[in-house]
A and B are shown apart, each in its own frame.
Chain A
Amino acid sequence: MARHHVSATVNGDGVEFLCETGQTLLEALRDELRLTGTKEGCGTGDCGACSVMVDGRLVCSCLMLAVEAEGKSIQTIEGMAVGETLHPLQRKFIEHAALQCGICTPGILIAARSLLARNPNPTESEVRYWLAGNLCRCTGYHKIVEAVLDAAREMRGG
Chain B
Amino acid sequence: MSTMLKYQERELKIVGTRPLRPDGVDKVTGRARFGADYNLPGQLIGKVLRSPHAHARIKSIDTSAAQALPGVKAVVTRDDFAEMPDEYAAVGELMINFRDVTRNMMAREKVLYDGHPLAAVAAVSEAVAREALALIKVEYEVLPHVIDVVEAMQPGAPLLHENQYTAGVKPKPDRPSNVAKRLEYARGDLAAGFNEADLIVEREFNTKPVHQGYIEPQACLASCSEDGQAELWTSTQGHFIVRAQCAKVLQMDVSKIRVTPTEIGGGFGGKNNIYSEALAIALSRKSHRPVKMVMTREEVFRATGPTSGANVKVRIGCTRDGKITAAEAELNFQAGAFPGSSVNQASMCAFTRYDLANVRVVGNDVTVNRPKVAAYRAPGAPIAVFGVESVIDEMAKKLGIDPIEFRLKNAAREGTQTYYGPKLGPIGYIQTLEQARAHPHYSAPLGPNQGRGIATGFWFNIGNETTCSLNLQEDGTLTLMLGTIDVAGGSRASMAMMVAEELGIEFESVRPFVGDTSTLGFNFLTAGSRGTFASGMACVIASRQVIEKLRQRVAKIREVPLEAVAWKDGHARPAGGNVAQFAPMSLAEIAKMAGKTGGTIAGHAEINAQGAGPGFGTHIVDVEVDKQTGSVKILRYTVVQDVGKAIHPAYVEGQLQGGAVQGIGWALNEEYVYGDDGVLQNPGFLDYRVPVASDLPFIDTVIVEVPNPNHPYGVRGCGEVPIIPPLAAIANAIENAIGLRLCQLPFSPPRVLKAIDDAAAAKG
Contacts and interface: CB of A to CB of B under 8 A. Distances in A.
Nearest to B265: A103
Nearest to A84: B25
B692 A132 contact: yes
Interface stretch (B83-91, B484-492, B579-587): B484-492
Contacts of B653: 97, 142-143
Contact of A81 (B24, B29, B265): B29
Contacts of A61: none
Given A90-B28, A101-B487, A103-B265, A139 B650 contact: no
Interface in A89-112: 90, 93-97, 99-106, 109
A11 B322 CA distance: 65
A36 B37 contact: yes
A42 interface: yes
Contacts of A138: 266, 488, 654, 658
Nearest to B212: A137
B664 to A, nearest CB: 8
A94 B650 contact: no
A63 interface: no
A17 to B, nearest CB: 15
B540 interface: no
B693 A80 contact: no
B693 A90 contact: no
Nearest to B652: A97
Interface in B632-683: 650-651, 653-654, 657-662
A78 B29 contact: yes
B263 A101 contact: yes
A101 B660 CA distance: 17
A106 B489 CA distance: 15
B658 A135 contact: no
A36 B488 CA distance: 20
Nearest to A99: B27
B628 interface: no
B36 A40 contact: yes
Contact of A135 (B31, B215, B654): B215
A157 B693 CA distance: 26
B216 interface: yes
B383 to A, nearest CB: 19
A134 B215 CA distance: 10
B354 interface: no
A47 B693 CA distance: 12
A145 B36 contact: no
A42 B685 contact: yes
A140 interface: yes
Contacts of B215: 39, 41, 47, 49, 101, 103-104, 135-137
B511 interface: no
Contacts of A94: 20-21, 24-25, 28
Interface stretch (B100-108, B443-451, B694-702): B694-702
Contact of B297 (A42, A99, A127): A42
A120 interface: no
A86 interface: yes
Contacts of B39: 34
Contact of A142 (B20, B265, B657, B686): B657
A90 B31 CA distance: 13
A139 B658 contact: yes
Given A139-B658, A140-B699, A100 B213 contact: no
Nearest to A90: B28
Interface of B is mostly: loop
A77 interface: yes
Given A128-B693, A134-B693, A140 B28 contact: no
Of the four ranges (under 10, 10 to 19, 20 to 34, 35 or more), the interface on chain A belongs to: 35 or more
A144 interface: yes
A78 B34 contact: no
A140 B661 contact: yes
B28 A93 contact: yes
B217 interface: yes
A20 interface: yes
Nearest to B213: A137
B25 to A, nearest CB: 7
A89 to B, nearest CB: 8
B201 interface: no
A106 B662 contact: no
A97 B28 contact: no
Contacts of B684: 42, 44, 46
Interface in A131-158: 131-146
Contacts of B24: 93-94, 99
Contacts of A145: 693, 698
A156 B408 CA distance: 49
A43 B683 CA distance: 12
B20 A95 contact: yes
A131 B23 CA distance: 24
A144 to B, nearest CB: 7
B154 interface: no
B33 interface: yes
Contacts of B212: 137
B17 to A, nearest CB: 12
Contacts of B28: 77, 80, 86, 90, 93-94, 99, 102, 105-106, 109
Given A81-B29, A94-B20, A143 B694 contact: no
A41 B693 contact: no
B690 interface: yes
Nearest to A107: B215
A43 B216 contact: no
* Most chain A beta carbons < 10 A, residue from B21, B30, B33, B692: B30
A37 interface: yes
Contact of A97 (B18, B32, B214): B18
Given A96-B650, A137-B214, A142 B30 contact: no
Contact of B693 (A20, A22, A131): A131
A81 B217 CA distance: 27
A86 B37 contact: no
B265 A102 contact: yes
B732 to A, nearest CB: 20
B650 A140 contact: no
Given A136-B693, A140-B662, 12 more contacts: A30-B37, A36-B36, A39-B215, A40-B36, A42-B685, A78-B29, A80-B28, A95-B20, A103-B215, A124-B698, A133-B692, A137-B214
10 shortest A-B CB distances, which residue pairs?
A: A37-B30, A103-B265, A140-B661, A102-B27, A97-B650, A46-B685, A77-B30, A94-B24, A140-B657, A100-B488
21 contacts: A36-B30, A36-B37, A37-B30, A39-B34, A39-B216, A40-B294, A42-B297, A44-B686, A46-B684, A76-B30, A81-B29, A90-B25, A90-B28, A93-B24, A99-B489, A128-B693, A132-B693, A136-B215, A142-B653, A142-B657, A143-B657
